[in-house]
Amino acid sequence: MNITRNINCLKDVPTQVKNKDLVALRRRQIVDAAVELFIANGFHKTTTRQLARAAGLSIGSLYEYVESKEDILYLVCDAIHAEVEQGVAQALERAQTVANPLGEVIREYFKVCHEMNDHILLIYQETQSLPSKWRKVVLENEIRITGLFTSVLMQLMEDGQLIQMDGNCLDLIAHNITVLGHMWTFRRWFLARHYTLDQYVDMQTAFILGQQNVAVKRPPASKRKITKKEF
């Protein structure tokens, strides 16, 4: 799927098997099986036997490729992040070619979130189940993806397509974009009742760009009803 991912796997998670290509192949089987089972039943309710079976290995073989069940969860989280990152990187490339790059990036990123709904949810739910060593790596992956948005915003600001603002502010907007994409996954059961994905994208883009300037600036006092029980 992704070179980075495979390098990570080999680097971090010990294995008894010497043949590196075989390790990559078997771990692919394991991860593909695990993603489905974890999404369907959660990490803790999935047994190592189910994992081995679904991956087409015996339980003994499974443990030649990982040292523990948590190893498998880490491989899963890492694979998901690699796929999200690839999706975002593609979105950035495509956005270079259009008149409104930021809008395009947001739209493409939200589509990635839409397609990877269950995967993103899984990371929200199970990151805590990782041993702290790997939890750190997974959280840093999250930040690296947010950093892609920071770069876009920075470049747009230098080009004069965004107003000037300090780096902290810009960075926070990158986090907001990231999380508002995730929001479509963890509130979708509600949001999708009221909006299509396209409507959601349009409204959130307007929100992020501050185009629907929410606050009215000091309405004339005469027109304001001031009552005690205002809301």
Partner DNA sequence: ATTATCTATAGATCTATAGATAATGC
Asked if 213 interacts with a copy of itself (CB under 8 A), we say yes
* Alpha-carbon 78 to chain mean position: 11
- CB of 33 or CB of 95, closer to a copy of itself: 95
At 83, list the tokens: 């796929």
Pair of tokens at residue 228 = 């005690």
Instruction: Determine contact, residues 85/54, Cβ cutoff 8 Å.
Output: no
Among a copy of itself, DNA, none, the one that 117 touches (CB under a kind-dependent 5 to 8 A) is none
Report if residue 17 touches a copy of itself, rule: CB under 8 A. Answer: no
First to last CA, the chain: 53
Q: Indicate the residue among 43 and 200 with the shorter CB distance to DNA.
A: 43
User: What are the structure tokens assigned to 156, written together?
Assistant: 């747009």
- 192 belongs to the binding site for a copy of itself (CB under 8 A): no
10 Å Cβ neighbour count for 5?
22
Does 132 help bind a copy of itself (rule: CB under 8 A)?
Answer: no
State the CB neighbour count (10 A cutoff) for residue 205. Answer: 20
Instruction: Please check whether residue 178 is in contact with residue 186, taking contact to mean a CB–CB distance below 8 angstroms.
Output: no
Select from 101, 134, 145, 201 the one that contacts a copy of itself (CB under 8 A). Answer: 101
- Angstrom distances, CA of residue 109 to CA of 7, 118, 154: 25, 15, 17
**Of the listed pieces 21-29, 46-54, 56-64, 207-215, which binds a copy of itself according to CB under 8 A?**
207-215
Question: Does 98 contact DNA by CB under 7 A?
Answer: no
- CA dist., res. 82 & res. 87, Å (int): 9
Q: Which is nearer to a copy of itself, 24 or 183 (CB)?
A: 183
Contact status: 16 vs DNA (CB under 7 A): yes
* Residue 204 touches a copy of itself, criterion: CB under 8 A: yes
Q: Give the CA angle between residues 150, 181, 157 to the nearest 5°.
A: 25
User: Residue 42 in contact with residue 63, Cβ under 8 Å?
Assistant: no
Backbone phi, then psi, for 43, in 5-degree steps? Answer: -65, -50
Using CB under 7 A, count the residues that bind DNA: 21
Based on CB atoms, which residue is closest to a copy of itself, 59 or 203? 203
Residues at the site binding a copy of itself, with contacts judged by CB under 8 A: 42, 44-45, 92, 96, 101-102, 121, 124-126, 128-129, 139, 142-143, 151-152, 154-156, 159-163, 165, 168-169, 171-173, 175-176, 179-180, 183, 186-187, 189-191, 194-195, 199-200, 203-204, 207-216, 219, 223-225, 228-231
Residues at the site binding DNA, with contacts judged by CB under 7 A: 16-19, 22, 26, 46-49, 57-61, 63-64, 67-70
